[in-house]
A and B are shown apart, each in its own frame.
Chain A
Amino acid sequence: MSQTQLTPGMGAGEMTVTGVAKGFGLGPLHKQVLCDCSFTLEKGKLTVLIGPSGCGKSTLVNVLAGYEAPDAGSVLLDGKPVCEPGPDRLVVFQETALFPWMTTYENVSYGPRVQRKMPEAEFRRETMKLLDLVGLRDFKDKYPSQLSGGMQRRAELVRAMINQPKVMLMDEPFRGLDAMTRALMQEYYVRLFEEHRGTNLFVTSELEEAIFLADKLLILTNRPARVKKVIEVDLPRPREFAMLTSKAYQDCKMEALELLHEEAMKSFAAGAVNAADFLEACSQMGQDQAVPSCKEGPGEETRQ
């Protein structure tokens, strides 16, 4: 892969988010989703955003992508304000957004085709190279409906990557995949990242996934969301699944779990969200985190 055009560090940009606020609805129906959100996506780093479900992660991604303007604050990419969507910040969505009427090949080559900056022969070569990389060469003439969930995610990943975006925004891209496929996708993704070293923001509500992938972990609070804590993940790269048993990984997980748990407790105490939301938040903190253990206090769930 070293001979590809996507050389390490290329197409990496720094994104600075300062005091971003965003709300929806008018008058008494107004809901503040983001409030004073500030952080930096460092050049060539993989930043993972984690927070309770429904806390506004997708809204934040929409603001960064330029689909929605913030009510206050600023989003800068390499010093320039972000005001509309563009190929320098690409989003991979929660659900597949591959165009159903295009084949895999047409989908992946869509960006270069409409940007008209690359001659056809060149982007054809580039598309095939990327399809090879994610094992989709034999499926290039299939429509998305003929691909499995995991294949769709891979196709979507390379559809974004071919444009060499400065920042990749991954909005819970592996949600809804079965556990095996999910683990496989994480490996694919981490390998692609380690080879290309672009700036990445990865949104998830799964802690294991978050730590496995991250250089830096941003933990969000409940709605209105802001950054509660930034945790540097000092695990060596390349990452392997064997690391999930290491001490450094466990320490990191414990710290994050405690913070997430605190948020869940807060929302419960405030009665801001109903019990169902609370249960969901708890279940997302880890499988062995049943409701009773949450009630026993913050010290309890560090036992894993």
Chain B
Amino acid sequence: MATASSQQFNWVKFRKSVFSLTTGRGIASIIIFTILWEICSRLGVPIIGNVPPPSAVLAALGKQLVSPAYWMSWLDSFVRILTGFAIAQVLGIPLGLLLGVNRTARELIYPIFEIMRPIPPLAWVPIAVIFWPTTELSMMFVTFLGAFFTVVLNIVGGASSIDLRYIRAAHSLGSSRSDIFWRVMLPATLPSIVVGMTVGMGITWAVVVAAEMIASRSGLGFLTWRAYVAGEYPLIIIGMMSIGIAGYVSSALIRMIGSRLTPWLRTF
């Protein structure tokens, strides 16, 4: 069947995309960047000269990769991210749909959103620390806020801009109210939900790293900050790169889930 063959993994295509000119150029660009950095660093070019060279970073990396403390930082940050993000989805998606679909609810609740939304999540850190009994909970709370508003706003936007033709067609074809919600409104809003999740994930990482620097004693943000305080410059770079990789991996995961949820957008 057509669906079965399209879902089968296409090895030829995969090989072609891995060993393509684009991939080659990508690798070359990273190598050249690293070499330039090394040279500048060694020659003591202003500003860049203050940054440890890649060779020093690599040397320090070996030690970190076998250190349990380093991996604990990854774990701590990821737990915060995932908890905050998951709760933001669990609360944000239904709320967004409710606000998008029900006018009364929208008019009652939306104004509060408009007031709270412009407050940057990091501005919540002090009050969050006061609110919650443990720092861990306050970190998660701030992470949650970072994703929550984005998710809700995206869904409200998506749900209230559903093309009237779809609703009308569904009405005409004899749908009940619940059919219209589950079979039309929800799938029509799914792309906005996915966008909300993707953007929310990006914000979540920005928030958690900063929050860890301010108020926590663990995690990748804290690792980077502590390296600065202790003057271990190569470790700063390792921390930054770890955060970059962690953010990339989580975004890729969300994108993967998103394209599973919206198969009709994948194809053209």
Contacts and interface: CB of A to CB of B under 8 A. Distances in A.
Interface string A60-104: 000001010000000000000000111101110101010111100
Contact of B168 (A67, A111, A143, A145): A67
A97 B268 contact: no
A115 interface: yes
B267 A145 contact: yes
A100 B165 contact: no
A110 interface: yes
B10 interface: no
A146 B2 CA distance: 13
B264 A145 contact: yes
Interface stretch (B55-63, B114-122, B175-183, B245-253): B175-183
B174 A141 contact: no
Interface in B1-55: 1-3
A200 to B, nearest CB: 15
Contacts of B1: 141
A101 B187 contact: yes
B173 A114 contact: yes
A142 interface: yes
Interface string B242-268: 000000000000000000001110011
Contacts of B262: 101
B188 interface: yes
B101 interface: no
A87 B188 contact: no
Interface residues of A, number: 28
B171 interface: yes
Interface string B50-89: 0000000000000000000000000000000000000000
A86 B183 CA distance: 17
Contacts of A145: 264, 267-268
B264 A163 contact: no
Contacts of B104: none
Interface in A34-69: 65, 67
A165 to B, nearest CB: 9
A87 B174 contact: yes
A159 B173 CA distance: 9
B172 interface: yes
A99 B180 CA distance: 12
Contacts of A163: 173-174
A114 B165 CA distance: 18
B172 A85 contact: yes
A90 B168 CA distance: 10
Interface in B172-200: 172-176, 179, 183-184, 187-188, 190
A67 B170 CA distance: 12
Contact of A114 (B2, B168, B175, B188): B175
A93 B169 contact: yes
Contacts of A84: 171
B173 A99 contact: no
A60 B173 CA distance: 19
A110 B180 CA distance: 11
Contacts of B264: 100-102, 143-145
A2 B262 CA distance: 40
B228 interface: no
A91 B172 contact: yes
A21 B186 CA distance: 36
Interface string B156-175: 00000001011011111111
Contacts of A141: 1-3
Contacts of B190: 101
A86 B2 contact: no
A144 B268 CA distance: 9
Contact of B174 (A91, A100, A111): A111
Nearest to A65: B172
A101 B188 contact: yes
Given A99-B187, A100-B264, A146-B268, A86 B172 contact: yes
Contact of A97 (B169, B183, B267): B169
B227 to A, nearest CB: 48
B172 A142 contact: no
20 contacts: A65-B168, A67-B168, A84-B171, A85-B168, A86-B174, A87-B172, A89-B172, A93-B165, A97-B163, A97-B168, A99-B187, A100-B264, A101-B187, A102-B187, A110-B170, A114-B176, A114-B183, A141-B2, A145-B268, A146-B267
Given A93-B165, A95-B165, A99-B187, 12 more contacts: A65-B172, A67-B171, A85-B171, A85-B172, A89-B172, A101-B187, A141-B3, A143-B267, A144-B264, A145-B267, A145-B268, A146-B267
Interface of B: 1-3, 163, 165-166, 168-176, 179, 183-184, 187-188, 190, 262-264, 267-268
